[in-house]
Amino acid sequence: MTIASLTLYRLRVPLTTPYKLSFGPVHAFDTVLVEARDAVGRSGIGEATYLTGYTDETMAGGWALAQRLAREFAGLAAADMQTRLALHYDSAPFTATAFGTALEMLAGDSLLNVAQRTDVPVLGLLHATETAAIESESAALFDAGFKTLKVKVGWDAIRDAAMVKRVQSALNGRGNIRLDANQGYSRDDACRFAAALDPQGIELFEQPCAAGDWESACAVARVATVPMMLDESIYGLDDIRRAAELKAARYIKVKLMKLGGLARLAAAIDTIRDYGMEPVLGNGVACEIGCWMEACVARGRIRNAGEMNGYLKPTAPLLANPLKFERGAIVLEPGYRPRLDVDALARCTLERQTFGA
């Protein structure tokens, strides 16, 4: 199969509500879409959404690399393109994933082929921090079908601990709680916070300290009263092995954009289980393409709520056939393939370029 053309879109996708993280609120997604077409007009779409503070890749750097790769790849055989992409898995995994998954979709990868309707449960995000608002928002999330709620921490360990107690009291065992610090704590604060947690209802505590600080990850895991999960620390199989050898976590979160493609993501999930840990899958900072692909990989492989809920955050979908969501789950239907909505795309597009025929 020859890649006749590659079209790149640089998008700024506004969110309905700012996504609050320890390193600052996110008001819009900075996204690059790659649309690959073959000689007979079939297409595949891949996505990279960059988050400053989460990854070393930036929108500016990713867009520049995407243009260079598209210029190089247009007209090549798909196999040659995949071989050249492998050179960028370590240095630019988000950008490489956008190209790799566009190829996999174009080729009809079996991981994306759904034979029967499948519902993939995802978690809901709890924004509220005060009791009355927690009670109201959590009730609405449970009514919508969510069974696991994510609570962001990582700002002030003492205040965060008091807020978590309010959440536990308000939920009263009605659902699972995932705590996520997004690297926000020092080692001492993380240890004090994790050691003092009441385990009631808490499924796990995610990435308390900086991604490269493995010593702190191990220190927190030793004193925590709840299971630990690593996210920002994990990019590939070597990181998964290191987490297992150091006993730094019981859960490992993986995301498609960090791994280069669907097959590599499925292999990472298998590796996590091989090392006796439990995989969690999903990206809360992604549009429909990335979330759909992660949901496809999750079916039959993931036993907990997915985190691929990023596509629920923008003000409007980018697809002409939006990804369905019912009762706290992404609905995967047989034969579904996403199609870009030209008008919706135009409203978010900052720049568009086509390379090749």
Residues 326 and 350 occupy one common structural domain: no
Residues 101 and 214 occupy one common structural domain: no
- What's the rounded Cα separation, in Å, for the pair 1 and 63? 25
| Overall number of domains in the chain | 2
Residues 71 and 152 occupy one common structural domain: no
What is the pLDDT at residue 70?
Answer: 98
- What's the rounded Cα separation, in Å, for the pair 267 and 212? 23
What is the pLDDT at residue 19?
Answer: 87
Q: For residues 149 and 309, is the Cβ–Cβ distance under 8 A?
A: no
Q: Give, for all 357 residues of the chain, the pLDDT tens digit.
A: 899 999 999 999 999 999 888 778 899 999 999 999 999 989 999 999 999 888 889 999 999 999 999 999 999 999 999 999 999 999 999 999 999 999 999 999 999 999 999 999 999 999 999 999 999 999 999 999 999 999 999 999 999 999 999 999 999 999 999 999 999 999 999 999 999 999 999 999 999 999 999 999 999 999 999 999 999 999 999 999 999 999 999 999 999 999 999 999 999 999 999 999 999 999 999 999 999 999 999 999 999 999 999 999 999 999 999 999 999 999 999 999 999 999 999 999 999 999 997
- Domain encompassing residue 23: 3-112+341-356
3-state secondary structure 80-122: HHHHHHHHHCCCCHHHHHHHHHHHHHHCCCHHHCCCCCEEEEE
Which residues does residue 29 pair with via DSSP β-bridges, in sequence order? 13
Residues 62 and 188 occupy one common structural domain: no
Sequence-ordered list of residues with C-beta below 8 angstroms from that of 279, at least 6 positions apart, any chain: 251, 252, 253, 254, 268, 269, 272, 273, 301, 302
Residues 108 and 141 occupy one common structural domain: no
Residues 221 and 235 occupy one common structural domain: yes
Residues 21 and 142 occupy one common structural domain: no
Residues 69 and 152 occupy one common structural domain: no
What is the pLDDT at residue 53?
Answer: 80
Q: Which two tokens stand for residue 52?
A: 């400053």
- What's the rounded Cα separation, in Å, for the pair 300 and 244? 23
309 burial level (CB within 10 Å; 0-12, 13-18, 19+):
buried
Residues 302 and 350 occupy one common structural domain: no
Q: What is the CATH number of the domain that holds 82?
A: 3.30.390.10
Residues 185 and 317 occupy one common structural domain: yes
Please write the tens of the pLDDT for every residue from 187-232: 999 999 999 999 999 999 999 999 999 999 999 999 999 999 999 9
3-state secondary structure the chain: CEEEEEEEEEEEEEEEEEECCCCCCEEEEEEEEEEEEECCCCEEEEEEEECECCECCCHHHHHHHHHHHHHHHCCCEHHHHHHHHHHHCCCCHHHHHHHHHHHHHHCCCHHHCCCCCEEEEECEEECCCCHHHHHHHHHHHHHCCCCEEEEECCCCHHHHHHHHHHHHHHHCCCCEEEEECCCCCCHHHHHHHHHCCCCCCEEEEECCCCCCCHHHHHHHHHHCCCCEEECCCCCCHHHHHHHHHHCCCCEEEECHHHCCCHHHHHHHHHHHHHCCCEEEECCCCCCHHHHHHHHHHHCCCCCCCECCCHHHCECCCCECCCCEEECCEEEECCCCCCCECHHHHHHHEEEEEEEEC
Q: For residues 319 and 341, is the Cβ–Cβ distance under 8 A?
A: yes
- What's the rounded Cα separation, in Å, for the pair 34 and 11? 11
pTM of the model: 0.95
Q: What is the CATH number of the domain that holds 306?
A: 3.20.20.120
What is the pLDDT at residue 2?
Answer: 93
Residues 259 and 158 occupy one common structural domain: yes
Residues 324 and 216 occupy one common structural domain: yes
What is the pLDDT at residue 120?
Answer: 98
Q: Please identify which residue in the block is written with the tokens 């020092």.
A: 186
